[in-house]
């Protein structure tokens, strides 16, 4: 469970939590901006109010599902072509490392699109997963 009360009340400059609006005498709500959340992840927050005597209200639960990042399909196609070219013919250790590093830098949505484009264009050369294991070994 995440606790932001100290950060908000003390004015601490947290990179992930900041006050979204300054409360005044007329409002009974505080807006909080929460950053640093991972994409394609579900978060549950339990929220409650605290009065000036320290008593808490009954908690409310809020569930947030962050969206998946948008995948650049053109870039996925380019990476599929790059992997094909690296695997085409004799693959040196340097080319294997380049292919491995390229694939490891991708998030799962992008990797799925690379696999899709590779198999669409080069399946006769060897299915993507099989070819990667053949060239890079099971990792």
Query: Quick one: 41 and 82 in the same domain?
Result: no
pLDDT tens-place string over residues 17-32? 666 666 666 666 667 7
The phi, psi pair for 35, rounded to 5°, reads -110, -175
The distance from CA 106 to its chain's CA centroid, rounded to whole angstroms, is: 11
CA–CA separation, 68 vs 40, rounded Å?
5
Query: Quick one: 51 and 78 in the same domain?
Result: no
Task: Flag whether pLDDT at 4 surpasses 60.
Answer: no
Query: Quick one: 25 and 60 in the same domain?
Result: yes
101 φ/ψ sector (left φ>0, alpha ψ -120 to 50, else beta): alpha
pTM listed for this prediction: 0.49
CA–CA separation, 12 vs 32, rounded Å?
13
The pLDDT assigned to 14 comes to 60
The pLDDT assigned to 2 comes to 46
Instruction: State the Cα angle at 118 between 79 and 100, rounded to 5°.
Output: 50
Query: Quick one: 44 and 81 in the same domain?
Result: no
Last residue of a domain, one of 31, 49, 65: 65
Last residue of a domain, one of 28, 46, 65: 65
Task: Flag whether pLDDT at 55 surpasses 70.
Answer: yes
pLDDT band at 66; cut points 50, 70, 90 = confident
Long-range contact pairs involving 83-88 (C-beta distance under 8 Å, separation at least 24): 83/114, 83/118, 83/128, 83/132, 84/118, 84/121, 84/122, 84/125, 86/135, 87/125, 87/126, 87/131, 87/132, 87/135, 88/125
pLDDT tens-place string over residues 100-110? 888 888 887 88
Domain extent, residue 19, equals 5-65
Query: Quick one: 90 and 106 in the same domain?
Result: yes
Last residue of a domain, one of 65, 82, 104: 65
The pLDDT assigned to 64 comes to 86
Query: Quick one: 57 and 77 in the same domain?
Result: no
Query: Quick one: 93 and 40 in the same domain?
Result: no
Task: Flag whether pLDDT at 5 surpasses 50.
Answer: yes
Query: Quick one: 59 and 84 in the same domain?
Result: no
pLDDT band at 77; cut points 50, 70, 90 = very high
Domain count, the chain: 2
Query: Quick one: 77 and 61 in the same domain?
Result: no
């Amino acid at each position: 469970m995440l606790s932001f009360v100290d950060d908000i009340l003390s004015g601490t400059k947290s990179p992930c939590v900041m006050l979204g609006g300054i409360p005044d005498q007329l409002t009974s709500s505080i807006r909080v901006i929460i950053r640093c959340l991972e994409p394609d992840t579900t978060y549950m927050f339990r929220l409650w109010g605290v009065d000036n005597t320290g008593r808490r209200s009954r908690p409310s639960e809020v569930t947030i599902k962050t969206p998946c990042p948008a995948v650049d399909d053109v870039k996925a196609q380019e990476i599929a072509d790059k992997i094909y070219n690296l695997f085409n013919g004799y693959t040196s250790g340097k080319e294997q490392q380049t292919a491995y590093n390229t694939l490891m830098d991708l998030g799962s949505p992008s990797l799925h699109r690379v696999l899709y484009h590779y198999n669409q264009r080069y399946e006769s050369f060897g299915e993507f997963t099989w070819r990667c294991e053949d060239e890079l070994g099971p990792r």
